[in-house]
């Protein structure tokens, strides 16, 4: 199971693209899945199947958290607080100038949909994938996990705050008169906080608690199956969330809008990663802490944003489109940011005596001792 999960994770981005294509060509099953609801209400809306899938995904993420590692990070809280605060405050600084610049766009409804969609994804907590991407790049994994948990715990406050800001940007004093301004205000006052608590915070904490009850040995045996379930959840959420937006967008394609969505999502995504990298330089972090801070600032839980947007703005594809594109683009940028830097030509790479021994035609001391033995 572990080997299969590793292979699938390696091809996860391609599988997500395949889900997007499938959602654009055959959207009907995804739309049906998205509309399935349980006889339970969450805030002002019903508990849908995508919300349940999101909760299971975050439960599995919490199951992979080691509490002992979090205690070590808590002893050095400055970078932890900095990463959480940067991720929470970034949308409040980035979105108002974007909304101001986009007032020149000829269709105010499209602009307002884009602003709401970007605010939804940026207001969400740090993505759990920031820890795994950071681990591949040599980051401080406990610090990344602690930032994910801290950001998740704050989401019942940060998500409604982000939606309040979006409501002001797209309301009568914003880019125009959005027909969903009242709905944005309702989400900010009721739906967003309850959604973040029920679908994000509580499942994650439940996963952490279950791991503590199971113990490390049992949890280690359960994790491969949990990761497999997580991958299935991610792909199902990709397909169901994309079905509504891509189905409508491809049925009546607006190439100007699609180009604007991709360009704007890519620019904001790059800005988030650059901001995290700059913060790591400014605070003089060592390399592992700087990598974790970069990924935590640049990656948000786009699955949660897509579930909330699909529940409230299913008839507005321009709200979902920036979330879907941001979800893919942040993984592409994370893959590029996680590659180790190439050594400068003509300079000897920073390595141990092993590299120098091989270049000089001599074996390093450890190799000589091995051969003598």
CA distances, 63 to each of 50, 135, 210, 295, 311 (Å): 20, 17, 7, 21, 27
List the beta bridge partners of residue 48.
Answer: 37
Distance of CA 24 to the CA centre of its chain: 22
pLDDT (0 to 100) of residue 373: 40
pLDDT (0 to 100) of residue 365: 36
The per-residue pLDDT for range 115-137, each reduced to its tens digit, is: 888 888 888 888 877 877 777 77
Burial annotation 125-142 (CB, 10 A radius, 16+ → b, else e): bbbbbbbbbbbebebbbb
pLDDT (0 to 100) of residue 54: 84
pLDDT (0 to 100) of residue 346: 46
- The CA-CA-CA angle for residues 290, 153, 9, to 5°, reads 60
**Within a 10 A sphere around the Cβ of 40, how many other Cβ atoms?**
11
Distance spanning both ends of the chain, measured CA to CA: 38
| Cβ-based burial of 35 (10 A; exposed 0-12, middle 13-18, buried ≥19) | middle
- Residues 154, 125 contacting (CB under 8 angstroms): yes
The per-residue pLDDT for range 283-314, each reduced to its tens digit, is: 787 888 888 888 888 888 888 888 888 777 77
pTM equals 0.75
- Residues 118, 322 contacting (CB under 8 angstroms): yes
- Region at 284 (left for phi over 0; alpha for psi -120 to 50; beta for the rest): left
Which stretches does DSSP call E strand in the chain? 37-42, 45-48
Which tokens sit at 4? 């299969």
Q: Measured between alpha carbons, how far is 236 from 229 in angstroms, rounded to an integer?
A: 11
Helices (H) and strands (E) in the chain, counts: 19, 2
Q: Measured between alpha carbons, how far is 325 from 261 in angstroms, rounded to an integer?
A: 7
Length of the chain: 373
Q: Measured between alpha carbons, how far is 163 from 179 in angstroms, rounded to an integer?
A: 15
Distance of CA 11 to the CA centre of its chain: 17
Which tokens sit at 197? 């608590």
pLDDT (0 to 100) of residue 171: 59
Q: Measured between alpha carbons, how far is 12 from 5 in angstroms, rounded to an integer?
A: 10
pLDDT < 70 regions, the chain: 40-46, 171-193, 244, 247, 251, 338-373
């Amino acid at each position: 199971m572990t080997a299969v999960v590793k292979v699938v994770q390696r091809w996860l981005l391609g599988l997500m693209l395949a889900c997007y294509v499938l959602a654009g060509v055959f959207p009907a099953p995804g739309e049906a899945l998205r509309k399935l609801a349980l006889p339970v209400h969450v805030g002002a809306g019903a508990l849908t199947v995508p919300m349940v899938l999101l909760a299971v995904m975050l439960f599995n993420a919490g199951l992979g958290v080691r509490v002992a590692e979090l205690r070590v990070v808590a002893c050095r809280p400055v970078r932890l607080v900095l990463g959480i605060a940067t991720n929470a405050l970034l949308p409040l600084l980035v979105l108002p100038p974007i909304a101001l610049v986009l007032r020149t766009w000829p269709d105010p409804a499209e602009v307002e949909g884009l602003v709401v969609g970007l605010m939804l994804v940026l207001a969400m907590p740090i993505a759990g994938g920031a820890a795994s991407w950071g681990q591949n790049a040599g980051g401080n994994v406990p610090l990344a996990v602690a930032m994910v948990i801290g950001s998740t715990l704050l989401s019942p406050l940060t998500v409604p705050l982000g939606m309040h800001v979006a409501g002001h940007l797209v309301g009568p004093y914003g880019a125009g008169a959005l027909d969903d301004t009242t709905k944005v205000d309702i989400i900010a006052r009721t739906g967003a906080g309850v959604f973040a608590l029920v679908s994000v915070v509580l499942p994650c904490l439940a996963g952490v608690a279950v791991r503590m009850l199971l113990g490390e040995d049992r949890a280690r045996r359960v994790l491969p199956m949990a990761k497999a379930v997580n991958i299935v959840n991610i792909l199902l959420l990709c397909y169901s969330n994309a079905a509504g937006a891509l189905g409508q967008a491809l049925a009546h394609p607006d190439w100007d809008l699609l180009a604007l969505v991709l360009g704007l999502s890519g620019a904001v995504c790059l800005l988030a990663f650059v901001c995290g990298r700059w913060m790591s330089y400014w605070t003089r972090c060592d390399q592992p802490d700087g990598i974790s801070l970069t990924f935590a600032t640049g990656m948000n839980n786009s699955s949660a944003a897509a579930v909330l947007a699909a529940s409230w703005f299913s008839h507005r594809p321009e709200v979902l489109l920036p979330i879907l594109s941001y979800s893919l683009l942040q993984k592409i940028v994370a893959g590029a940011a996680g590659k180790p830097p190439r050594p400068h030509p003509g300079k000897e790479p920073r390595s141990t005596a092993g590299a120098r021994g091989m270049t000089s035609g001599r074996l390093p001391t450890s190799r000589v001792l091995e051969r003598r033995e």
